[in-house]
Structure 1
Amino acid sequence: MAWSLVAELADTADTAPIATDPRFIQPALTAVQIAISEASRDRSSPPSFVVGLSMGEVAAAHCAGILSTQDAMAVVCVQAELTAHTLRPGKMVFARAGRGPVERALAVGQGRAVLAVTLAPELSVVSGERTAVDAVAAELHSSGVMVGPLPIGFAFHSPEMAALSGPFMDRLAALRPQTGALPMYSSATGGCVQGTDLHAEHWWRIMSGPALFDGVIGSLLDLGEVFFAEINPEPLLADAIRDIARPRGVAPTVVATMSRRTDTEIWPQSTVHEPE
């Protein structure tokens, strides 16, 4: 399927494919993240490292010089196409709770729902088969935990992805990751990864395994004073970063590159968001 990113970005309707069709959403998001990174190179200090959450790692790997543009877009286009055509619908929900309460509630899911993402000390994501996730969400809600759905129709970071394993690995067998020019930290491992290891197996782990965002951000905060710039059309992770930092007694600076609340970029010119 061929389509124009420029044309899709110009379509501002709520029903536009770029906002509703899984074949468009992740490729468009990754392309925008890459474009923002490239546009920022001559306008700000170079980054000391890159880090990503879930498929956001693809743009991070491109920024680090690990994946070429062609390889980066291959990863997200294969993921998007296989997800849209192969997977049965699943469900993901957030829970305002840490690992312990969520893992206890997972028992009612009978192995069909998992702790998919640990975003912050008191913020997690559960993913899996729809009825199992609903049961876990009800269990958490009954214990006083705030729970809500994520606008994602598939159960990423869960065993529900298993049907995609073979075709995903086959279609990305030609990836040629490079050493890269920057250290890259991964939410799949919680630490630094080697660029030349980011073959199809790594990206399959990103799709199907847990995302340890709290762990990887904690690793970076332990290095000392850190300045984070979130490369995204809309800032989504700043609060989680602050929540991870708070128990450590540190106050990282977190800035956003763009926001739907403004017609212009907001970094590096203005709007630095710092924790209280």
Structure 2
Amino acid sequence: MSLEAVAVVGVGHRLPGDDTAHGDGPDGHTAWTGSTRRLLGEAAAEALPEDRRSPGDGVFLALGRATDETGPGDPLPALRQGGPAVVLDAARCPALLAVRLAWQSVRLGDCDTALAAAGVGDGAAAVALKRLDRALRDGDRVLATLCGEAEEREEGDGTEVIGPDAGPLAGLARIVGLLREPLGPFPLSLRAVGADGTGTSLRFAAPPPRAPEPPARVRATPAPVRREVVFAFAGQGHQWLGMGRELLRAVPAFREAVERCDAAVRAETGWSVLDQLTDDAAGPRLSRSDVLQPTLFTMQVALAEVWRSWGVRPAAVVGQSMGEVAAAHVAGALTLQDAVTIQVRRSALLHRISGKGTMALVELSAEEAEREIAGARGLVCVAGYNGPASTVLAGDLGELERILDRLEARDVYCKQVKDTAPSHSPFVEELRADLEAALAHIRPRPAAVPMYSTVTLERIAGPELTGAYWIRNLREPVRFASAVELLRAAGHEVFLEISGHPVLQEAIQQCLEHGGRTGHVLASGRRAAELRSMRASRDALAALGALPRRGLTPYQRALAPSLLRRPEGALR
């Protein structure tokens, strides 16, 4: 996972002496005058003209006077339209802090564009920042790329220090002056120190070379980018002996969810999922679909519960093959009892055909896979479309092995999916009557979370998830790639795979990147590193701005009113 690169796309400056007017405030600081507001507005307009602004832009200001009022004295009100906004007391903070906060906001995805500006008495300066990929796409002139103090630095880089005596405008004025030079003094490191000794650093690097202009073409209007998380539930294949044990020991939410599922599965089958997860001797039973699938379902429900306990709630869900059952339950469309009934009874019937065929993953496009199986006499079919270059085949064991041998001879990646029956193939037809009887009493409910179906390629309302739907889910090809495309078209770009070990990450990434798009795909469990993997993904979600924001600590709340020009009740 990588955070967004940030570009400097504009600078503006009005030096002291440019038609200044002074006024003395009662607190000893320079009071805002009409002239100062005008200078700040002009510097901001030079850095970020009106026709390049949008309602979600961030605004980070360092001003020569900090009060709790708004209204006529509030500078640049036209820019405050919903994006992140902070106003700092310039006399108390390092001279680069506004730029640093703007950089963080763009880098973490809170906004695509941000303006950092300072205005004190008779002078003003402004710097406009933008996501680098968007700046290049929009044809902006990139003056530099911006890094923070945590980024890598080259040995021997000199750092220019701007002390508190230089004044509140010094940091932004220095950036403006340096970036107006024809080629820029890259790399450039600046560090500003405030009156209290605290400091902040920034590093400027050369802009990337401009690519040749692409031919003009008509583009569809993209959906707004959404940083909420999509839970993607994997199908079979992510199992490993020992999965869940670390989480059972260390995470109460996981154990409680497993125990709830265990009780429901035990009532249907007479055996214990908890025993399957904790007893090495039970391992061989996981090769049976009627044991494996309820166990994987339990893992997925429990993993989702851990994420919820950490404050990560899905904005939408999608499921691949059997993973769609857990997705429907987490979305609220199936009770736990109905979800367990579907998973247990379907997998028990699947076990009847497990010796007749199997499934395999091949690194081929859908069209290439269709050509490859054309001579299989109908004994092998495409069972799933995972991504632009990832397809699942299902069918007769002998015929499928011959196809895999041919692909291996051509050095095409392929592998048989472990412990699978020939789902999503004509072999399922012989089970139809028994499936209809077994699933006749499923009573779905309206979904509380949007669910995108790999069967119908529609957003599921919930009541349509009857027994008939789950027979189609087992019999028809899994159109997972198309469902991811629907989610991407709706603006979703952060996906969290819910599985014991990643099996969908690469396919989802392929789907997101197909056609030059971007996105982020994170894992839940990982073989022999369950808790570490989940914590790493949680940190990544926080960096992406996809976690709910926590309130201020008491210490922060005590300090904030002196730094921000807004009432305490309005602080986020």
| Superposition TM-score, scaled by structure 2 size | 0.45
The alpha-carbon deviation at position 176 of structure 1 amounts to 0.3
Aligned to 2:271: 3
Aligned to 2:142: none
Aligned to 1:76: 343
The alpha-carbon deviation at position 244 of structure 1 amounts to 1.1
Q: State the distance in 2 between where 1:25 and 1:7 align.
A: 12
Q: State the distance in 1 between where 2:436 and 2:415 align.
A: 32
Structure with greater strand percent: 2
Residue identity opposite 1:250 in structure 2:
R
Deviations 1:235-263 (A, max 9, x none): 21111111111123222222222112314
Aligned to 2:155: none
Aligned to 2:244: none
Aligned to 2:334: 67
User: Structure 1 residues 138 and 266 mapped into 2: Cα distance closer, same or farther (>3 Å)?
Assistant: closer
Aligned to 1:185: 452
Q: Which has the higher contact order (CA 8 A, sep 6+)?
A: 1
1:176 and 1:199 in contact (8 A); partners too: yes
Aligned to 2:376: 109
Deviations 1:104-160 (A, max 9, x none): 122211112101111111111111112332344345456653332221341111001
1:148 corresponds, among 405, 408, 415, to: 415
Aligned to 1:120: 387
Aligned to 1:207: 474
- How big is the alpha-carbon RMSD for the aligned residues of Structure 1 and Structure 2? 2.2
Matches within 5 A, 1:29-108: 29-85=296-352, 88-108=355-375
Q: State the distance in 1 between where 2:530 and 2:501 align.
A: 12
Where in structure 2 are there 5+ consecutive unaligned residues?
1-268, 544-572
| Structure with bigger gyration radius | 2
Q: Does 1:168 align with 2:435?
A: yes
Structure with greater helix percent: 1
Q: State the distance in 2 between where 1:124 and 1:218 align.
A: 16
Residue identity opposite 2:277 in structure 1:
L
User: Structure 1 residues 263 and 210 mapped into 2: Cα distance closer, same or farther (>3 Å)?
Assistant: closer
Q: State the distance in 2 between where 1:201 and 1:32 align.
A: 25
Aligned to 1:12: 280
User: Structure 1 residues 98 and 269 mapped into 2: Cα distance closer, same or farther (>3 Å)?
Assistant: closer
Amino-acid identity (%) = 29
User: Structure 1 residues 139 and 166 mapped into 2: Cα distance closer, same or farther (>3 Å)?
Assistant: same
Q: Which moved more, 1:136-145 or 1:158-167?
A: 136-145
| Superposition TM-score, scaled by structure 1 size | 0.91
Q: Which moved more, 1:6-15 or 1:234-243?
A: 6-15
The alpha-carbon deviation at position 179 of structure 1 amounts to 0.9
Q: State the distance in 2 between where 1:106 and 1:92 align.
A: 13
Q: Secondary structure at the match of 1:266?
A: helix
2:514 corresponds, among 241, 244, 247, to: 247
Residue identity opposite 2:321 in structure 1:
S
2:493 and 2:512 in contact (8 A); partners too: no
Q: Does 1:267 align with 2:534?
A: yes
Q: Which moved more, 1:255-264 or 1:98-107?
A: 255-264
Where in structure 1 are there 5+ consecutive unaligned residues?
none
Q: Secondary structure at the match of 2:385?
A: strand
Deviations 1:60-117 (A, max 9, x none): 0001100000000000100111122355420212211101111112221111210111
Q: Does 1:133 align with 2:400?
A: yes
Matches within 5 A, 1:208-227: 208-227=475-494
Residue identity opposite 1:249 in structure 2:
G
Q: State the distance in 1 between where 2:411 and 2:422 align.
A: 24
1:92 and 1:154 in contact (8 A); partners too: yes
Q: Which moved more, 1:129-138 or 1:75-84?
A: 129-138
Q: Secondary structure at the match of 1:41?
A: helix
Q: Secondary structure at the match of 1:118?
A: strand
